[in-house]
Amino acid sequence: MTALLASVRSDDEAFAAAQAGAELIDLKEPNEGALGGLSVPEIRAIARHLRAHYPVKPISATIGDVPADELDEIAMRVIEVSDAGIDYVKVGVAPGPAARRCLDELATLPAAVVPVLLCDGGVDDTLVAHAASLGFVGVMFDTAGKDGSTLFDHVDAHTLARWLSMTRERGAMSGIAGSLGWAQLAQIRTLAPDVAGFRTALCVDGRRSSLDPQRVAQWADALHRPIGEIVRSSSAASDAGLSGSVSVRV
């Protein structure tokens, strides 16, 4: 079963997502970029409050959008976020000359890091294999851009399946995100990643607007129900006005 990761920006959104069925609560600030980060005090306060009611529900948080070559800044933010009381620290890694070195540095840090490989510019098998070999708790595949394209516009499903397999073979959690919407539900279900992450499709009107618990519940249901019911799930979402231009950004 694919777990639903809901990206939230506040205490209220965190509780709404948890109550609506999201398995993982991901703390981020969409106004600050693709992987924009909340302040450490905000992360700590939300995590403490959420844990009082959902003690075993996993919580992740991003460190913010930091270039892969700024290793000292990345390391400092990873430790600060990890110490704020969350389970996983998400770090975006764009392909390029610094990507491999950044992954090597992340693997040495005393934190449960989940590198998020940003696929907009293309990611090759060697970088994915290297990330999978470093012992991370998980690896996610995402996009940084907000141009309306999805992860599947940058990486074909066959390649994604191979990358997810590489990740799982090393015992790590596998995940996808990146402007995914109802049109990609069947592909998500076929790939069956451990985690699928969402923001925009869970919101009232775009990724910067308020999270809608009903949408969270509908996505959780669509990811978890038997494969033969996908069409009915998509139809229900369409009837509720959640298809078409709706997309997901984590």
For the chain, the residue count is 250
**What is the average pLDDT across 14-31?**
97
Indicate if 90 belongs to the active site.
Answer: yes
pLDDT for 7: 96
pLDDT for 246: 32
By three-state DSSP, how is residue 120 classified?
Answer: coil
Per-residue pLDDT tens over the stretch 207-223: 889 999 999 999 999 99
pLDDT for 227: 64
C-alpha distances (whole Å) from 21 to each of 69, 182, 210 are: 37, 18, 17
For 189-249, the DSSP string reads HHH--SEEEESGGGBSSSTTS-B-HHHHHHHHHHHHS-GGGHHHHHHHHHHTT-STT----
* CATH class held by domain 3-239: alpha beta
Query: Cβ(134)–Cβ(163) under 8 Å?
Result: no
Per-residue pLDDT tens over the stretch 51-96: 999 999 999 999 999 999 999 999 999 999 999 999 999 999 999 9
**What is the average pLDDT across 243-247?**
35
Say what the pTM is.
0.90
**What is the average pLDDT across 113-135?**
95
* Tokens 């693709």 -> residue: 34
Per-residue pLDDT tens over the stretch 171-206: 999 999 998 889 999 999 999 999 999 998 899 888
pLDDT for 43: 98
Sort strands 195-198 and 24-27 into parallel, antiparallel or unpaired. Answer: unpaired
pLDDT at 243 over 50: no
pLDDT for 134: 98
Report domain extents, the chain.
3-239
pLDDT for 244: 36
pLDDT for 229: 59
131 or 250, higher pLDDT: 131
Indicate if 146 belongs to the active site.
Answer: no
pLDDT at 146 over 80: no
pLDDT for 250: 37
pLDDT for 207: 84
Beta strands in the chain (DSSP E): 3-8, 24-27, 59-62, 88-93, 113-118, 138-142, 173-176, 195-198
pLDDT at 38 over 70: yes
pLDDT for 228: 60
pLDDT at 241 over 60: no
Task: Kindly state the percentage of the chain with pLDDT values over 70.
Answer: 90
pLDDT at 245 over 60: no
Q: What is the mean pLDDT of the chain?
A: 91
Q: Which of 28, 44, 207, 215 is catalytic?
A: 28
Query: Cβ(150)–Cβ(247) under 8 Å?
Result: yes
Q: Which of 9, 44, 77, 90 is catalytic?
A: 90
